[in-house]
Structure 1
Amino acid sequence: MPVFKKYDLNKQSIEVPGTRTPGATGHYRHVGFVDGLVENIRADPTVKTLYDLFQSSLAKFQDKDMLGSRNYDPVTKTWSGYIWQSYRQVDQRVNAFGSGVMHINEAILGNTQLNRWSLGIWSLNRPEWFISEMICNYYNLVSVPLYETLGPDAVEYVMNHAEIKVAVVSGNHIASLLEMSDKLPNLRAIISMDSLAEGVLAPGVSSASSILRAWSNDRGIKIYDFQQVEALGREYPRRHIPPQPEEVASLCYTSGTTGQPKGAMLTHRNFIAAVGANREGMVTDHTDTVISYLPLAHIMGRVVDTNSAYSGCRIGYFRGDLLLLMEDIVELKPTFFPTVPRLLNRIYAKVVASTVDAPGLVGKLARRGVATKLANLEAGKGVTHPLWDRLLFNKVKMALGGNVQAILTGSAPIAKEVLNFLRVAFGCIILEGYGATEGMATATITMADEHQPGIVGCPRSGVELKLVDVPEMNYFATDKPFPRGEIMIRGATVFKGYYKDEKNTLDTIDSEGWLKSGDIGFIDNRGCLTIIDRKKNIFKLAQGEYIAPEKIENVLLSRCNLVMQIYVHGDSLESTLVCVAIPDPETFLPFANAIAGTNVTMTDPVGLGKLLKDPKVKTAYLKELEKAGQAGGLRGFEVVKRVHLSMDMFSVENNMMTPTSKVRRPQVKEYFLDAIKSMYDDIHFTTIVAKL
C-alpha cells in the first residue's frame, strides 16, 4: 500500500528569508526542503533518464507483474480478467519492437537520421502505448503523444510540426491518417497496435486489413502491425542508444482554447525530477496496483504511470470505455486510483443516493455515520472508524474494488463537500494536486492527513513558488490577511520551452526560470496554496468589474450536480452574466420531471426539448446555479442571471472543446450567439418593465 511521509500540517511551506522583491512575495518552499530542492530520485541518484529508470526497475522487479489488460472473446462476447506481462516480458517486447522500428526507419525507409526523430503515438491507454513510449527511451527518440480525441486539423498540425515519420496507432486511427496523408509529407510508415492479420469475410470479399494495405500502398506509406515489427526486431536486433538527461524525451502538445497546439519540450531530467518529487510525498512499491485510464497524451497520466513503473507497481489498463471504467476498477482492485473531479463528482452522486439520501433505516444510519466520521476528520482523527466502517462503509469501498488506499485528483477544482464526503465514505486518503503540462503536472499537493478542503496543498519537494502582483485584477503580494497574485513556479520539473516557438516560450518562462501559470492564488498562514481566479480570458463588465469566467464555471461544475458542461458569458457592454448549460441527464431528468409534472426519458427527444425550454424548469435550474455559486463564494456580480439549457454538448468534433476538455470560448459563443442575445434581451426587457 502507498506510504506517506508525515510533516507538520500547521507549517507546510516557508517563505525563504531574503527572497522578496517589489511586486512579489518571497519564494515558498516545502518545509522539509527549505535548504535545497529535490532534482532527482534521492534514493537512486544514478537514475538520470527514463532509460535508467526502467533499467533500474527491471533489475529489481523483472519477474513481477507489470502491465495488465483485459481481452475480449468475440465468440462468447465476454471480457477476461486481467492478464499480466512481467517487467522482464515488457523489456523483451521493448527490445524487439524498438529494434524493429529502428530497422524500418533505416533499412526500409532509408532515413539517415538514426536517433532524435519523433515517433507519433495515437491510441487510448494500453500495453502497446507504454512499449511504444519506452522504445523512445531505449533508442533516444522523441515521443509525440496524440490525444485520442484530436480533430483532423489538430492531428495534421501536430504531425507536421513535429515532423513525424513513423506513427504507432490503434487500428481505429489508421484510416484517418491515410485519409489526410496527402497533407502529411513527412509520414512514411504506420504501425497498428491491433492485428492486421488477413481474414476472409466471405468469398470474394476483401478483409478490412487488405483494404488498408492497398490504400497505404497507393499513398506510398508502409503499413505494419505490432507483431510484424516485433518479429522484425527479433530478426534484426539493435543496440540501445541511451539518451542524455537534458535531451527532450517527449513533445507534449497542449491544446489551447485558441490558436494552434503548442509542443512543450519535456526532457528526461524533467521526468526524473517529477518522479523524485512525487516520491518525497507518497511512496508506492511492488505490492501496489494502479488503474491507468487518465489519457497518456496528458502529462498527469504519464507521470503517474512513470512513477508506478519505477516503483515496481502493477499497472492495469481500462478497456477504453469510460462507461465500463467502474467495472474495470472492481475487477482490478487497485490500491491507488488517480482520477479527475468529473468522475469523482459522478461517484459522489451515486454514493450519496445509496447512503445519506436513501430512505428508511439505511439513510438514517448513513447520515449518522457520515456526521461522526466528518467530525473525526475535522478533529484530525483520520478517515476510518471501527464501528461505522464495519456497519456501512466497508460495503461502499467495494465500488472501487475494496483495496483503494489513496486517490489522487487534479486538473480541475473539486468541491469541498465532495472531497470530504468521499474521504470518509471510502475511508482512504485523497490527495489534491495542482500543476501544468509545462511543469510536469508537479507544482503543489495536499498532505496525506490534510482535512481542510479547498486548498491544493504546499509546494512539492522539487518546486518553489511565488505570487506576483496582478494590478488590473486588484491582486497584490501585500494583500491582507494573505498575499495574493499570479502563481509562478520554478524547479527541475519546469520544461525546456515550446518546440519551434520562441515567442510563446519567452512569454511563459521569464529570464530567471519562473514558469507563469496564469492562475491566481493566495498562500495562507500554514503555507498552503488556494486557487481563487484565472488571469487568462478575463474581461470587464460594464460597471468595471473584472470577470474570470473559467473560475465561475469551475465553481458551478463542482457544486451543482445538474451540470455536465457550462459556458459563462459576459462582455463590457453588459452589467450581468448569462450562461449556456448542458445538463447531466442522470440528475436533470428527475429534477425537471418533478417540476414540470412529466415523465420524460432520454428516448423522448420531443419531450426533452420541451423540458429544456420550460420557463419553470429554467427558473428552478437557475436557482440551483445561484445556490452553487453562493456555496462556492462567488460575488454578486459573478452570479449568472439567465441560463440557456441545451443538449448540444461541447465536443472536439464540433470544435467547441479541446482534447483536454477545455471550452473553446469563441466557438461556443458563435454557436450559441442567438441564445445569448435572447437572454440579454430578456434581461433588458425585465429591467425596463421593472422601472415602469
Structure 2
Amino acid sequence: MESLFQFLFSPLPTPALISIFILGAAVLLWLNSRQKPVTPSVDLNRQTVGIQGGARKSTAMENDNLISYYYEDARTLYEVFQRGLHASGNGPCLGYRKPGQPYQWLKYKQVSDRAQHLGSGLLHRGLCPSPDQFIGIFAQNRPEWIISELACYTYSMVAVPLYDTLGPEALVFIINRADISTVLCDKQEKAELLLSNCEKELTPVLNTIILMDAFDPDLIDRGSKCGVDVLSLREVETLGKDNKKDPVPPKPEDLCIVCFTSGTTGDPKGAMLTHENVVSNAAGVLRSFERSFAPVPQDVSISFLPLAHMFERVVQTAMYGAGARVGFFQGDIRLLPDDMKTLQPTIFPVVPRLLNRVYDRVQSGAQTPFKKWLLNFAVERKHLEVKQGIIRNNSIWDRLVFHKVQETLGGRVRVMVTGAAPISPSVLSFLRACLGCQIFEAYGQTECTAGCTFSASGDWTSGHVGIPLPCNIVKLVDVEEMNYFAANGEGEVCIKGKNVFRGYLKDEDKTAEALDKDGWLHTGDIGKWLASGVLKIIDRKKNIFKLAQGEYIAPEKIENVYVRSGPVAQVFVHGDSLQACLVGIVVPDPEVLPGFAAKLGVEGSLEKLCKNQVKDLHLHPEQFSIENGLLTPTLKAKRADLTKFFKLQIDSLYANVQ
C-alpha cells in the first residue's frame, strides 16, 4: 500500500520513462492481438499411413473405423436439416435477392414446413413415400430447389437433379431411365421443353410438371392434351398444407439422390447415392476442417455452383447441419461479384476457373514496374506468414495491397474450398497469401459423392490434393500400359469407404467398370504418393490417346500448361492415332489479346485477330461454355463434342502440317 501511495504522489515521469511505457504497451498490445498459427491437424511430414492391402489412411484417424456421420443425431439428410433447425434456434436459412436489393431470408422452420407441405401435396396426388419414388428437379440454384429436395427426404423419396443445360435427348434418357413421373421446374421455358418431349411421346412416364415461377395459363391446356398436369408450386404446397401427412424419415442406407453425370461421351450415367454416402462425405470434410474452420450458425455460404453437382450438395449439407446460412446468387454469373459484396459470405466453395480469373485480375492490375514490385514483395511477405501457419487479412500488406481483391469477395471469407478440377500450385500459393483465408483443395468425383481427399488444415504446401478423408481409404493400383506401378508409389487412384456410391442406375455393365468385386471405386485418375504422405494427381487414364508413332498423350496436361499464358483463355488439344502430331483450338482472352497484339503492331477486333492465325493453330473467338454445349456443368471439356464441333478446323490444321 505504501509503494502504491509513493507511486501516485511521486514526481511526474520523465520523457524516457514515458517512451518505455508506450513501447511496453505497444508490445503488450501486439502480443495479445497477433495472429496465432494454425495448428496442423496431422504431422505435416507424415500425413498418411499404410494399412492392410496397400491402402493408405490419414494419420489423424485413431483406428481403422471409417466415419459415417459427424453429429450423433444427424445420420440422414433429413436429420441433418432438423438438427440445423435446432442448432440455429430457427435462424436464417436460405437467402435470395432481387437486383439492387438486399438479401431476404427464409428461416429454418419456414423451409422445413414448406418442404413438409410440398411433400404432403405430392403424396396426396398419388406418389409413394419410398426410396423407389424418384422426383425430378429441373431448376437453377434457388431456395425452392432446397425445399423440393427436402420434401423428397422428408418422405424417403429420391431427388434426381436435371441439369439446366442438358439437351432434349439427355432429358428424355434420364426421365425414362429413372421412371420420373413428376418434375419440379423453375421457369416456363423448361416446362415447355419437357412438354415438347411429351407431345412427341418420348417420355410416356411423365405426368406432372410443377412450376416455381408464374406461367402462362395456356401451358395447362397444352399439358392436358398430352396427359400432363401443369401445376404451380404454391398450389401443391397449399394442397399439402390442407392434407398434411406425418414425415416418413429415411434410413441411412436408403437412396437419397441419383446424380446423372453429364459425361463427356455417351449417355448420362445415374450415380446412386445414399444418405450415408452424402452425410459421411460431409462429415469427412468437417472432421478435416477441425474446430477452427468448421461452420457455425453465424457462417454464410454463397451458392452459385450447380446444385446438381455433388460438390455443392456436400458443402450445403455441412452448412445446414451447423445451422448456418446459404445465400443464392441471382442466377447470372456476371452478377456474382455484386452478390458476393452484398452477401459477404464467410465460406466460399469455388472452382479453379474462377480462382484463375481472380489471380489474372490481380496480376493485370499491377501495370507499372513499381506496382509489380510492390505486389510481388507483399505476396512474398504474406507467404512467409502462411508458411508459419498464420492466416490473416489484417496485416499492413492487406491494407496497402490486398484489401480491394478481398472486398470483391465480400471481405469476410474465412474458408475457401476449391475442387472439381486441378488448380495451378503457383495460383493456389499466390491466393493463399493475398486473400487472407484458409484455402482447402479437395479431390474426388460424383461416384464417391464428391471428395475423397482433402488438404489438411495447417498444410500450406500446394501441388497436391491432400490426404484421404476419414470416411474413406485410398490405394493406387498398377497401370502397366502407362508404366505406372503401385510399388513405385504411382498408379490409378482407387477409393473404398462410406462415401462410395451404390452403382449406376439400371446399368450393371458401367457399374462393373467402376466398382470391382471388392468394392473399390476405380477413378481413372493416376496418382502419386509424395514423401509427406499426400496424394498428387499426375495423369489421366481415360483421356489418353496414342499417336501414329505409338506415343501416348494426355491432352489435359498439355492444356494446363498452355492455359497459363496470359492471352489464352481456353485450350483444346486434339490428337489422332493416324497422325504424328497434335493440333489445338485456342480461345483468346478478350481482355488481354487486343493489348498483347497492339504491342506487336497488330490492331483489330477480337474476331479479326482470331482470323490472323498461324497455320497449325486455330483461334476461336467464342469461349467454350456450358451454354454452347462444349463444357460439362462441372466445367470440364466435353472432348467428343469439341472434336465434332471443330471437325472442319481440325481437318484443315492437319492438312496444313502434312
Calculate the TM-score normalised by the size of structure 2: 0.89
- 1:231 match: 238
Letter in 1 for 2:210: I
Structure 2: distance between partners of 1:524 and 1:114: 46
Deviation of the 1:363 alpha carbon:
4.3
User: Are residues 1:672 and 2:646 paired?
Assistant: yes
The match for 2:202 among 167, 171, 183 is: 183
How far is 1:46 from its partner? 3.6
Classify the secondary structure of the residue corresponding to 2:104. Answer: strand
Amino acid in the other structure paired with 2:584: C
| Cα distance, 1:151–1:193 mapped onto 2, change above 3 Å | same
Counterpart residue identity of residue 352, structure 1: Q
* In structure 2, C-alpha distance between the alignment counterparts of 1:537 and 1:366, rounded to whole Å: 38
Residue matched to 2:94: 67
Confirm whether residue 496 of structure 1 aligns to residue 502 of structure 2. Answer: yes
Are the counterparts in 1 of residues 165 and 629 from structure 2 also a CA contact under 8 Å? no
- Stretches of structure 1 that go unaligned for 5 or more consecutive residues are 21-25, 72-77, 197-208, 601-606, 620-641, 685-692
Q: After superposition, what is the alpha-carbon deviation per residue over 1:476-523, rounded to whole angstroms, capped at 9, x for unaligned?
A: 1122xxx11100011100000011011111111111111000000100
Amino acid at match of 1:433: A
Match in the other structure for 1:608? 606
* Aligned residue in 2 for 1:146: 162
Number of the residue aligned with 1:12:
47
Q: 1:395 to 1:645 in 2, by over 3 A?
A: closer
Structure 1 residues 443 and 555, CA, compared in 2 at 3 Å: closer, same or farther? farther
Residues 389/667 of structure 1: CA separation in 2 closer, same or farther (3 Å cut): closer
Q: What is the correspondence of 1:42-191 to structure 2 with a 5 Å cutoff?
A: 42=70, 44-71=71-98, 78-104=99-125, 106=126, 116-171=132-187, 172-181=189-198, 182-191=201-210
Letter in 2 for 1:144: V
Which residue does the alignment assign to 2:67? 39
1:147-546 residue pairs with structure 2 within 5 A? 147-171=163-187, 172-181=189-198, 182-196=201-215, 209-282=216-289, 283-354=294-365, 357-359=366-368, 362-378=371-387, 380-382=389-391, 386-479=395-488, 483-546=489-552
- The equivalent residue for 1:622 is none
Q: Distance in 2 between matches of 1:214 and 1:33?
A: 60
Cα distance, 1:333–1:656 mapped onto 2, change above 3 Å? closer
Q: Deviations over 1:624-674 (max 9, x none)?
A: xxxxxxxxxxxxxxxxxx421112544556554434333333332233233
Contact 1:541 1:573 in 2 (8 A): yes
Local SS of the residue matching 1:573? coil
In the alignment, is the contact (CA less than 8 A) between 1:341 and 1:410 conserved in 2? yes
Deviation at 1:331, TM superposition (A): 0.3
Q: Take 1:667 and 1:423, find their aligned partners in 2: how far apart are those partners? A: 35
* 1:338-368 Cα shifts (integer Å, max 9, x gaps): 01011111111112222xx233654443332
Aligned to 2:23: none
Offset of 1:176 from its aligned partner? Answer: 1.0
Aligned-residue sequence identity (percent) comes to 41
Query: Residue 6 of structure 1: CA displacement?
Result: 2.4
Aligned residue type for 1:579: G
Kindly indicate whether the alpha-carbon contact (under 8 Å) linking 2:117 and 2:238 is maintained by their aligned counterparts in 1.
yes
The answer as to whether partners of 1:37 and 1:463 remain within 8 angstroms in 2 is no
- Separation in 2, partners of 1:349, 1:657: 21
State the distance in 2 between where 1:313 and 1:380 align.
26
**Runs of 4 or more consecutive aligned structure 1 residues displaced over 6 Å after TM superposition:** 112-115
Count of aligned positions = 614
d(CA) in 2 for partners of 1:576, 1:95: 59
Kept in 2: contact 1:144–1:251 (CA 8 A)? yes
Q: Please, which of 578, 581, 586 is the counterpart of residue 581 of structure 1?
A: 586
Give the letter aligned to residue 526 of structure 1. S
Paired position in structure 1 for 2:17: none
Q: For residue 14 of structure 1, give the secondary structure of its aligned residue in structure 2.
A: strand
Structure 1 residue 380: Cα displacement? 5.0
Does the aligned pair in 1 maintain the 2:117–2:240 contact within 8 Å?
A: yes
Secondary structure of the residue aligned to 1:7 is coil
The answer (yes or no) to whether the contact 1:470–1:485 under 8 Å persists in 2 is yes
Query: In the alignment, which residue of structure 2 is the partner of 1:551?
Result: 557
Post-superposition CA distance 1:383-418 (Å, at most 9, x none): 657321232323331111110011111111111221
Aligned 8 A contact 1:656 1:667 in 2: yes
What is the alpha-carbon distance in structure 1 between the residues aligned to residue 89 and residue 158 of structure 2? 26
Contact 1:657 1:663 in 2 (8 A): yes
Kept after mapping to 2: 8 A contact 1:5/1:280: no
Paired AA for residue 205 in structure 2 = N
Q: Secondary structure at the match of 2:338?
A: helix
8 Å Cα contact 1:345-1:561 kept in structure 2: no
Following superposition, the deviation at residue 4 of structure 1 comes to 8.2
Q: CA deviation at 1:571?
A: 2.4
Give the partner amino acid of 1:87: Y
Question: 1:465–1:490: 8 Å Cα contact kept in structure 2?
Answer: yes
Structure 2 letter corresponding to 1:15: G
Farther off after superposition, 149-158 or 566-575:
566-575
Equivalent residue for 2:635?
661
> Would the alpha carbon gap of residues 561 and 265 (structure 1) be closer, same or farther in structure 2, given more than 3 Å must change?
farther
Aligned counterparts of 2:512 and 2:596: Cα–Cα separation in 1: 49
Distance apart, 1:115 and its partner CA: 6.2
SS of the residue corresponding to residue 263 of structure 2 reads coil
Structure 2 unaligned residues grouped into runs of 5+: 1-37
| Preserved CA contact (<8 Å) 2:547 2:553 | yes
Q: Structure 2: how far apart are the matches of 1:265 and 1:328?
A: 33
Deviations along 1:239-263, whole A, 9 cap, x unmatched? 1111121111110001121110010
**AA aligned opposite 1:236:** N
Instruction: Give the Cα separation in 2 of the matches to 1:315 and 1:550.
Output: 34
User: For residues 230-284 of structure 1, what are the alpha-carbon distances to aligned partners after superposition, in whole Å with 9 as ceiling and x for unaligned?
Assistant: 1111111111111121111110001121110010000011111112111101211
> 1:667/1:91 Cα in 2 relative to 1: closer, same or farther (>3 Å)?
closer
Change (3 A) 1:380 1:651: closer
**Coordinate RMSD, CA, aligned:** 2.1
Q: Which amino acid aligns with 2:463?
A: G
Alpha-carbon offset, residue 113 of structure 1: 7.6
Q: Which has the larger radius of gyration?
A: 2
- The alpha-carbon distance between structure 1 residues 353 and 610, as it changes in their structure 2 partners (threshold 3 A), is closer
